[in-house]
Amino acid sequence: MLKCDYGNLHREVSLLEAAGAESLHLDVMDGHFVPNLSYGAMVVKRIRELTDRILDAHLMISDPGRYLDDFVDAGCDSVTIHIEAVPDPTELLHAIRQQDVVAGLAINPETPVEAVEPFLSLCDLILVMSVEPGFGGQKFIPSALNKLTRLRELSNAQATFSIDGGIDLTTVGSAAAAGVDICVVGSAIFDSSDYRASMQQLRIEAHSCRQAAAL
Ligand code: ZN
pTM of the model: 0.96
Instruction: Give me the catalytic one of 30, 56, 124, 164.
Output: 164
Q: How far is the CA of 81 from the centre of ligand 1 (A)?
A: 10
14-50: string of b/e by CB count within 10 Å (b at 16+)? Answer: ebbbebebebbbbbbbbeebbeeebbbbebbbebbee
If you compute the radius of gyration of the chain from its CA atoms, what whole number of angstroms results? 16
What's the one-letter identity of residue 136?
Answer: G
Euclidean distance between CA atoms 83 and 215, whole angstroms: 35
pLDDT at position 149 = 95
Is the pLDDT assigned to residue 90 strictly greater than 80?
Answer: yes
Do 55 and 24 form a contact (C-beta atoms < 8 A)? yes
Q: How many residues does the chain have?
A: 215
88 is catalytic: no
Q: How far is the CA of 197 from the centre of ligand 1 (A)?
A: 22
Euclidean distance between CA atoms 56 and 146, whole angstroms: 24
**Structural element, H or E, at residue 64:** helix 64-73
Q: How far is the CA of 209 from the centre of ligand 1 (A)?
A: 23
Q: Tell me phi and psi for residue 107, to 5 degrees.
A: -130, 130
Tell me the C-alpha to C-alpha distance, in Å, between residue 108 and each of 91, 128, 204: 21, 7, 28
Q: How far is the CA of 29 from the centre of ligand 1 (A)?
A: 10
Domains of the chain (ranges plus CATH)?
A: 6-214 (3.20.20.70)
164 is catalytic: yes
pLDDT at position 136 = 75
Instruction: Give me the catalytic one of 5, 27, 70, 100.
Output: 27
* Tens-digit pLDDT profile for residues 2-57: 888 989 999 999 999 999 999 999 999 999 999 999 999 999 999 999 999 999 99
Is the pLDDT assigned to residue 177 strictly greater than 90?
Answer: yes
Q: How far is the CA of 215 from the centre of ligand 1 (A)?
A: 31
Q: How far is the CA of 104 from the centre of ligand 1 (A)?
A: 11
* Tens-digit pLDDT profile for residues 135-162: 777 899 999 999 999 999 999 778 999 9
